[in-house]
A and B are shown apart, each in its own frame.
Chain A
Amino acid sequence: MVTPPGRLGRAERAAVWVLCRLLPVGFRARQRSEWTGDLIAIGGGAAIARWRYLFAAAWTLPALRAQVYRSGLDSPRPGGSAVRASVAVEMITKVLYVGLGLPVLSWFIAIPFRYVLLDIPGRFAHMQENPRPFDPMDLWPVDGPFVVLIPLWVALSLGAWAALIGPLMSTFVAFVATLVNPKYMGASRFQRVVWAVLGAALLMIITVLTFLSDLVPVLRYAIDRGLSAGLYGCLTVLAAVALRGLSRRRRMALVLVGLGGIAVFVTHQTAVGEAMLSWYLD
């Protein structure tokens, strides 16, 4: 059956509807017009060409979604001229997402998640009733086929330490900034690799120095139990409210990351948080 010109068949309309449902709400109407207009222009007699068009649109839908979010076109402003985030805002946002988000996520997996999931208090109680050799830290399999998990464990541990140790947290944020900054300043790949290596070396030095706090007493204060993460969390929430040109989704993501940073600090001020920290530091 040939669809009359100027109209889409029922199945084509349904396909456009499904594709549009998979796009951000604020962008659906715009893209529906684009696709519908194109399909009408292709013509009712060219059913194969229309379905080929729809298949191509479906194939590139993930890319379209990603670009819509990245461009901030998912929440168009009245009048159609979206206020775009400046380069500085883009940079600050990325630094906060990664610089605070990664340590907070690592902290959550490495400390509270394991503490609750593996019932560490229960194991301690059991150990006191039935004394026998037991290392409560030995809960991450690293032998045999699990050897591939070692890099993940190292990354999670470093991230968790960054959330707990003030200087490490700040260095990590600065490290992320050096990785994000050159991209916008047009630095070459080689320069970015050099900065990344130097930043990683600095992170390792600070971590080692912190563990040598018996030799350098002032470093005992470096383990600030999430104070720095909390402060960065407050800054991130403020940034989410104050920065211009961010989409609602990105703003919400920043708020979540910020609240995560604050949660690190608040958790370690409670009795349970204190117990978690003692277990982790031991």
Chain B
Amino acid sequence: MAARGETLARQFESKVQEATAVFEQLSDADWKKLTAAEKWPVGVVAHHIATSHEGIGGILKALADGKPGPNIPKEALDAMNATHAREHAGCTKAETIALHKKNAAAAAGMLRGLDDAALEHRGSVLAGVPPMSAADLGGVLSAHIDEHLGSIRKTV
């Protein structure tokens, strides 16, 4: 029985739906506005959310599989985010929403497949930050949407 994974997946899916609704209502003008927090266009922030389901989900799966965790230095995280923003400066709303739904479905499916023991596996995700469990990262999946969706809402 993977009750905890199911709970985490449902919480995440709820946030995903909330984000989808916000993305769908963004106008072309909104899409291009610059956010104060990330200093990226709103569309790039949305694409970052959509992409990150895969990245966070991948790390979560690695921890659940018993791997030690990537121990990502802060500068590396900043570099990855900056590279992503540069590469996807021209992303469209339609492609972003499609990616968001696809990656979210994969992450939710993966969460549902994890038993409680796997969710307890811990590893170092970020350098200088205490180790996290796979379940903690399940929470991060939702919190990450919250964080950036708040920024989008403030901007538009």
The answer on A and B forming one complex is no
